[in-house]
Copies of this chain bind each other. A is one copy, B any other.
Amino acid sequence: MSGTSNLDKISQGRLSYNWALKSMKIISKITEKYEKRKPLAGLDLAFCLHITKETSVLIMAARKLGGNIILCSANPLSVQSDILEFLKDNEIIVHAKTKMNEKEYLENIKKVLNTNPDLITDDGSTMHLYCHKMGSKNVIGGTEETTSGINRLQVLDTKKLLKYPIIGVNNAYTKYLFDNRYGTGQSTIDGILRTTNIFIPGKNFIILGYGWVGKGISSCLRGLGAQVTVIEVNPIRALEAYMDGYIVSRIEEVADKGDFFITCTGQKNVLRKEHIDRMKDGVFIANAGHFDVEIDLRYIKQQDKNPIIVRPNVDSYNINGKTVNLLSKGRVLNLVGGEGHSPEVMSLSFGNQLLSILYIIENHKKMQNHLYPVPKNIDNTIAKYALEAFGIEIDNPTKEQLDYHNEVNIQI
């Protein structure tokens, strides 16, 4: 890559950063509030995130608060090259390149850990797990962005194996209610349109998993006219999907009926041989979950060694004489096949991240080696900042109402 093109990339990266910054007013508000105090001064902060324009806003904000940043990517394929160059140009240490193989990706995580960071911000908990394996010397605490990552940490916590306190940012209301549901919903639509340009009205979409991500995707698809069938193993969620007006069924019942299958279960092999073999000719299958384990990719690849790349991110496999179109190689569709979350929705998640990092810096001595939820008042603060950013004013309870809630209503 020549110097000139690097300059172009840097300047394109700066444009992207500024574009995102404008939409991430929550981060700007936090930065303004703490910039003078430099609460992150003297600290080495490791970040393992998708390297996007939104991440660059978080990173630059952490730098403005005084932090020393070392960054790597949370996914081998989710690095945006212009942002990479822009960050490097701003003297952020980044261990990543645009397309890595699995090994390079993991090596980069290790390189970051070898710098002995004070705090780890992760997306998927791969870095947290490596840190627990490799030793966590200086680490005073960490944060984790996703459900999948938190699930992993929960297992460690239950077994009392956590070596430092971690705040599971995903469990903030202002994270999962908005990022997972509306954010992933919208960006999955983006991924569907870009990869396939399928005509959505009337199409039979099968959504596997009705957590927040499944809810968001289902709602957006229905909003565009699709017929949505939900597959769910949890009876409460299945009941909710049913009463939300979706068809609820077993995957066996609909494997041969769906036009488009999307997995978002956090689980392994939810689409496998027995389902894929019965699918319609020309079917689309995609994954919206964090890890690429939800579709049995090994089976698909065994059936056809030379799939045709008919469009970017659409690999057409010939399986038993029928065409099965696998999107974005089974990796998370909204990020790999689409542009990913809007800066505005990332502003909510990363606002929680930033305030959680500040919280740990201040409170880590009082914290135990547990998985913590985002403190309630951080959650409320982010919601207030978000409403301000959107120009929405709300009422405050009256004195009488505060009293009523606290006391009066138990008098008879």
Contacts and interface: CB of A to CB of B under 8 A. Distances in A.
A174 interface: yes
Interface stretch (A41-49, A66-74, A217-225): A217-225
Nearest to A238: B394
A387 B201 contact: no
A311 B80 CA distance: 14
Interface stretch (A2-10, A86-94, A265-273): A265-273
Interface stretch (A32-40, A136-144, A176-184, A364-372): A176-184
A133 interface: yes
A19 B311 contact: yes
A93 B245 CA distance: 41
Contacts of A64: none
Contact of A395 (B251, B342, B404): B251
A232 interface: yes
Given A247-B227, A267-B401, A183 B199 contact: yes
A1 interface: no
B235 A383 contact: yes
Contacts of A186: 193, 199-201, 224-225
B311 A401 contact: no
A173 B407 contact: no
A395 B231 contact: yes
When all copies of this chain in the complex are counted, the total is 4
Contacts of A152: 409-410
Given A174-B236, A239-B383, A199 B342 contact: yes
B380 A236 contact: yes
A345 to B, nearest CB: 5
A194 interface: yes
Given A155-B407, A268-B404, A178 B282 contact: no
A398 interface: yes
Dominant SS among interface residues on chain A? helix
Nearest to A230: B394
Contacts of A406: 155
Contacts of A133: 412
A151 interface: yes
A82 to B, nearest CB: 11
Interface string A366-395: 000000000000011001101100101111
B409 A151 contact: yes
A317 to B, nearest CB: 15
A288 to B, nearest CB: 16
16 contacts: A15-B308, A18-B310, A22-B282, A129-B410, A155-B407, A177-B240, A178-B243, A199-B341, A219-B225, A223-B225, A225-B243, A236-B380, A239-B383, A239-B386, A250-B395, A252-B395
Interface of A: 15-16, 18-19, 22-23, 126, 129-130, 133, 148, 151-152, 155-156, 173-174, 177-178, 182-183, 185-186, 189-190, 193-194, 197-202, 219-220, 222-227, 231-233, 235-236, 238-240, 242-253, 267-270, 282, 293, 308, 310-311, 338-339, 341-345, 379-380, 383-384, 386-387, 390, 392-398, 400-401, 404-410, 412
Given A178-B201, A220-B223, 6 more contacts: A174-B239, A189-B189, A231-B395, A233-B394, A235-B383, A268-B408
